[in-house]
A and B are shown apart, each in its own frame.
Chain A
Amino acid sequence: QKEVEQNSGPLSVPEGAIASLNCTYSDRGSQSFFWYRQYSGKSPELIMSIYSNGDKEDGRFTAQLNKASQYVSLLIRDSQPSDSATYLCAVSSGYSTLTFGKGTMLLVSP
């Protein structure tokens, strides 16, 4: 059974701080990793994808992947109240469908 684990939160950070969201996965054969943002009552929106070890930066977002530790994280710099949402980690083993975590709720206070 493939599993993706996330702390459900809420993770509370003040505006302007760095928010760090973490995800671990059980399948060592996983190859593709995604972060989705989901606002309350809305559908998931893809914000980052990462496929190789290391960091990938896109604006205020940085995804970090460590396959040896089976760990992927998302850093949000200069957090804004509009970043308040649930962040879903999703993992794929290549020729398989996505496995999602339950998500971490992020609250950014003004």
Chain B
Amino acid sequence: ETGVTQTPRHLVMGMTNKKSLKCEQHLGHNAMYWYKQSAKKPLELMFVYNFKEQTENNSVPSRFSPECPNSSHLFLHLHTLQPEDSALYLCASSQEGFSGGVDNEQFFGPGTRLTVL
């Protein structure tokens, strides 16, 4: 595997379900991110982890719960979601937990298309 991988690629869940999204990066990076992409909206940053520590939570509802056991893996645990949470969820990684500077570009995984019924 190379780059950033995400599973599952598609997920349909009811509002009472609990599910988890998984992200793994094979780039040796130290920072990982969760983004939400809805139609007609810019990418919305949800969470940032730098060296396994959460450094940013962008006022995300508690029904989204991130977990970062190590610098290569990132999870997003989902429970009691709403239909408006249906979106493409993207994981990204970069060398460091800030995005400025040369050679600190973010690279994205393929995303999980989530549908909440």
Smallest CB gap from B56: residue in A: A97
Contact residues on A (Cβ < 8 Å of other chain), bracket: 20 to 34
- For B48, the chain A residues whose CB sits under 8 A away are 97
Once A44-B43, A102-B41, A102-B42 are accepted as A-B contacts, the answer to whether A97 and B109 lie under 8 Å apart by CB is no
Chain A 86-105 per-residue mask, 1 if CB under 8 angstroms from chain B, else 0: 00101011111111111100
Segment among B68-76, B79-87, B99-107 that sits at the interface with chain A: B99-107
The dominant DSSP class at the B interface is: loop
Q: Cβ of A62 < 8 Å from any Cβ of B?
A: no
Smallest CB gap from B55: residue in A: A97
Once A42-B110, A43-B111, A45-B108 are accepted as A-B contacts, the answer to whether A98 and B102 lie under 8 Å apart by CB is no
Chain B: residues with CB nearer than 8 A to chain A? 33, 40-43, 45, 48, 56, 88, 90, 98-102, 104-111, 113
